[in-house]
Amino acid sequence: MTQAPPPAAGSARRGRAPAAADRRPVPPRPRSGRPVRRPGPPRAPRPLERLRRAWDRPLTAYYVVLGTGLLITALGLVMVFSASQIQALRYDLPATHYFRKQLLAAVIGTVLLLIASRVPVRLLRALTYPFLACSVVLLILVQVPGIGVRVNGNSNWIALGGSFQIQPSEFAKLALILWGGDLLARKGERNLLVQWRHLLIPLIPGALLVCGLVMFGGDMGTVMVIIAELFALLWLAGAPTRLFAGVIGTAAVLGTLFIVTSSHRMDRLSCLGSTDADNCWQAVHGLYALASGGWFGSGLGASVEKWGELPEPHTDFIFAITGEELGLVGTLSVLGLFAALGYAGIRVAGRTEDPFVRYAAGGITAWLMTQTVINIGAVLGLLPIAGVPLPLFSYGGSALLPTMAAVGLLIAFARGEPAARSALAARGPRLKWKTMGRRRRPAPSGER
């Protein structure tokens, strides 16, 4: 049987269509004669774009508040240990005396932070009035002879026995924010904040009562922080500009009166920007500590100013010791942590749908940032020395406990955002427990 001869070479072109393997994609012919550029892979986002996307994630504020709060507290413990050793030895105390007390306060504050980060908003609002009432009672007890204790010219302390004392004005800062936030939220639900009477009363009288009790003990620095909290609450409530002008003018007149009538405050004001070490010893030696630190500092524990030259090196002027031992890099790191904490607090207040959460988060952020600016401004010689501690950083259990509780509330508010709740629910449990027993192998079925 003979085979048919193969088709001619040109028959495929004339009759039969070419096979699939013979087909080749024909590139389009450019009209201008230039080759056509095929689309390449997408470009990687720029660093600023990636940073913006990372910041827009639902859980970013939660992680930033938690991380910065714990980092500032941990770094503060290290600096308190370094700055307080010589001060403790001067009073015939163990070198670790102040550090152990601060460490105990940090442990208790961590427990408060965890509790506050899980407290429901409804329960928190129910506790605002009792919290403020207890703070006012403690502020009154400070002025009772035999109960109140006078420290550095101010009678704002209550002795708890031994070397432990409590400063009620620190707890009053947080109590006023929560009470004011609940008050404004309740009035906002009834559309009453459009009237000046409901906007100012009883918020302004309550704040003036707390300021008066604190000022009666001589602590003007704490009064300045409370006034800043009041301004933050009024601004978040939508107070008109005329109201702000009136409140600021009244506060300026009262502040000037309190400064002029006190020689101690006039001396502090006269030291603003001064280089006279004889009359402004503390302010000038704070600048000496910062100037001698250089870029990377003299080393942890190698400060010279803490050897009796700089008063209160572990409390009001711990930032100066940080600059001397850790240098400009250390101080900028501390400033960066506080800036991140403040920006995260603003984000929590701006993205929430709950009015109470917005007022509380904004008030807490204003409190922490105002106190930070007053303390660091005094160390840099830009503001008068007000005796205000650096939040989460300076020595003082009475200041550390309510501050860590406030950070815990910011964490709770950040977790309560709708997008954050959805992200946490989608993530599920992170820990999976594994048993130590051997896994049983299935018995053979006998089939091949």
Q: What is the pLDDT averaged over residues 96-110?
A: 95
Averaged pLDDT of the chain: 84
Residue 58, classed as helix, strand or coil, is coil
* Contact in structure between 392 and 403 (CB atoms under 8 Å): yes
| 38 has a pLDDT exceeding 70 | no
In this predicted model, which residue has the larger pLDDT, 417 or 430?
Answer: 417
Beta bridge partners of 165: 159
Q: What is the DSSP string of 248-316?
A: HHHHHHHHHHHHHT-HHHHHHHHTTT---TTT-HHHHHHHHHHHHHTTT-S-TT--STTTTTSSSTTTT
Please state which of the ranges 150-164, 192-206, 232-246 shows the lowest mean pLDDT. 150-164
> Per residue in 178-219, pLDDT tens?
999 999 999 999 999 888 888 888 999 999 999 999 998 888
At residue 133, the 3 state secondary structure works out as helix
pLDDT score of 356 more than 50:
yes
pTM of the model: 0.84
pLDDT given for residue 433 in this prediction: 42
- 2, pLDDT greater than 70: no
- Specify the amino acid at residue 267: D
CA-based R_g, the chain, Å: 32
Exposure string of 193-224, with b = 16+ CB inside 10 Å and e = fewer, is beeeebbeeebeebbebbbebbbebbbbbbbb
Separation CA 279–CA 412 (nearest Å): 47
Size of the chain in residues = 448
**How many other β-carbons are positioned within 10 Å of the β-carbon of residue 354?**
16
pLDDT of 174 over the 80 cut: yes
Instruction: Place 297 in a pLDDT band, splitting at 50, 70 and 90.
Output: very high
Across 235-249, 333-347, 357-371, least confident range = 235-249
Task: Indicate whether 432 pLDDT > 50.
Answer: no
Confidence of residue 428 (pLDDT cuts 50, 70, 90): low
Judge contact between 362 and 236, C-beta under 8 A.
Answer: yes
User: Tokens at residue 325, please?
Assistant: 């031992």
Q: In the prediction, which pLDDT does 277 show?
A: 73
Confidence of residue 39 (pLDDT cuts 50, 70, 90): low
Give residue 431's pLDDT band: very low, low, confident or very high (50, 70, 90).
Answer: very low
| DSSP H or E segment with residue 157 | strand 154-161
Residue 412 banded pLDDT, cuts 50, 70, 90: very high
- Give me the pLDDT at residue 27, please: 55
Of 96-105, 143-152, 158-167, 435-444, give the lowest mean pLDDT range: 435-444
Q: Is the pLDDT of residue 10 over 70?
A: no
CA proximity to 210, closest of 176, 252, 255:
176
Supply 37's token pair: 């550029």
- Here the tokens at position 413 are 């508010």
Q: Which two tokens stand for residue 31?
A: 């009209």
| Mean pLDDT of the 315-332 span | 95
Q: What is the model's pLDDT at position 83?
A: 94
Percent of the chain at pLDDT > 90 equals 52
**Is the omega angle on the peptide bond into residue 202 within 30 degrees of 0, that is, cis?**
yes
